[in-house]
Structure 1
C-alpha cells in the first residue's frame, strides 16, 4: 500500500504543471519535411494517419487529411515555384501536427514563400482552382498564417478533437 508523501511546509517552491499525459505518452507534436510533390504528399497523408492513430485521434482523420492535402497543394502550387527563383531559400516544405489545448489539433504547413495565402472571392462552385482555402475554412474552427523570419510563412488550421464535433 502506498502512503501519501509528507506535506510540504515553508514557502512554495517551483510548481510543475500537471498534464493529462503520462511520461510514456506519445509526443503531442510531430514534424515531417516533404521533398517532392507527389511522393511527398502521399508520405504526408500516411504521416497524418499514423500520427493521429498514435494519439488516438483517428476520428479526426478525414478532416485532418483533407486540410493537410489542401495546405500542401497550396504550398506546392503557389509557394515552391517562387522559392526556386531564390537559390538561398530552403525549398523544403514542412508539415507539423500538434495538439493544443487538449481540444484542438493544429495542422500547419511551412513553405519558403513570403506570399500570403489568397482567399478566393469567387462564388462559382465549379471553378477548378481556388477552393482549397474555402475547404479549410469550412472544416476548421480557425485558420490563418504567420510570416516566418527571414523568409517564408506557415499556414495553419485548428480542428476540434472532440468526437462529436
Structure 2
C-alpha cells in the first residue's frame, strides 16, 4: 500500500473493504445455486489514474445469480452490512459481469469492486511505451481471459487492436505511445493513458460480458 502512496488510514480502509468483499463472496455468492462454476474467488488490486488517481480493490466470484444491492444500506441491518461498510469506506463501488483473471479463461462470473483515492498527481501518468508492445500485451491479456478473435495490426507510431463483441460490433482500440483510445458500448469516446492498461483491459472484458458496461 505504501508503494502507491496510501496513507495509513486509507490503507486500513482498503484492507477492511477487501476483507468484506471476500467474505461476501464466500458467504453468499458461492452458496447461491447450481449455476456456480467450480472456481475460487479471486482478489484483484490495481491502480488507475482515470478519472482520478485511485486504488481499485475487486473480488471476483463465479456466480451471476446472486448480485449485491448497490443501494445505500443501514449499517444496523444485519443483511448486507458488509457491503454497507464498503460503501462507507470507499470513494466508489459497484459490480459488473466479467471473467476470471487468475483461473481458467472459461470461468465467467462477476466482480464487486471499490476504489480509494490516491495522492495526485500520479507520478507515472505520462509514461509512454511503444504502441506495438502495448497492443501485443492487450491482445495477449484479452486472449488469456477467453476473448476469442482479438487481432492487432501496426503502423508508424500507432497500433490497432480489434476486439470482437457478441453483437457483431467490434471495438477498435487505437494505441499511441502514451494513450489508448476506443469507443465504449454507449458510444462515448474514451481516451486513457497507457498506465491504465490494466483498467482498460478489465473494462473491455466487462463490455463483452455486459453490453452496458463501459
TM bucket normalised to smaller: 0.5 to 0.7
Q: Counterpart in 2 of 1:91?
A: 39
- How far off its partner does 1:71 sit? 0.6
Q: d(CA) in 2 for partners of 1:99 and 1:81?
A: 31
Match of 2:12 among 62, 70, 78: 62
Q: Counterpart in 2 of 1:118?
A: 69
SS in 1 for 2:28: helix
Stretches of structure 2 that go unaligned for 5 or more consecutive residues are: 100-106, 121-214
Q: Does 1:100 align with 2:42?
A: no
1:127-142 correspondence runs (5 A)? 127-142=77-92
TM-score normalised by structure 1 residue count: 0.56
Q: d(CA) in 1 for partners of 2:72 and 2:12?
A: 26
Q: Which has the higher contact order (CA 8 A, sep 6+)?
A: 1
SS in 1 for 2:32: helix
Q: d(CA) in 1 for partners of 2:93 and 2:77?
A: 22
Q: d(CA) in 2 for partners of 1:158 and 1:121?
A: 16
1:1-165 correspondence runs (5 A)? 52-57=1-6, 59=8, 60-82=10-32, 85-86=34-35, 89-101=37-49, 103-114=53-64, 115-119=66-70, 123=74, 125-148=75-98, 151-162=108-119
State the number of aligned residues.
109
Distance 1:130 1:86, change over 3 A: closer
Q: d(CA) in 2 for partners of 1:162 and 1:54?
A: 11
TM-score normalised by structure 2 residue count: 0.44
Please list the CA deviations of residues 79-116 of structure 1 after superposition, one character each: whole Å capped at 9, or x if unmatched.
Answer: 11236x347x1321000111110720000000011022
CA contact 1:120–1:131 (8 Å) conserved in 2: no
Stretches of structure 1 that go unaligned for 5 or more consecutive residues are: 1-51
- How far off its partner does 1:121 sit? 6.7
Larger radius of gyration: 1
CA contact 1:120–1:130 (8 Å) conserved in 2: no
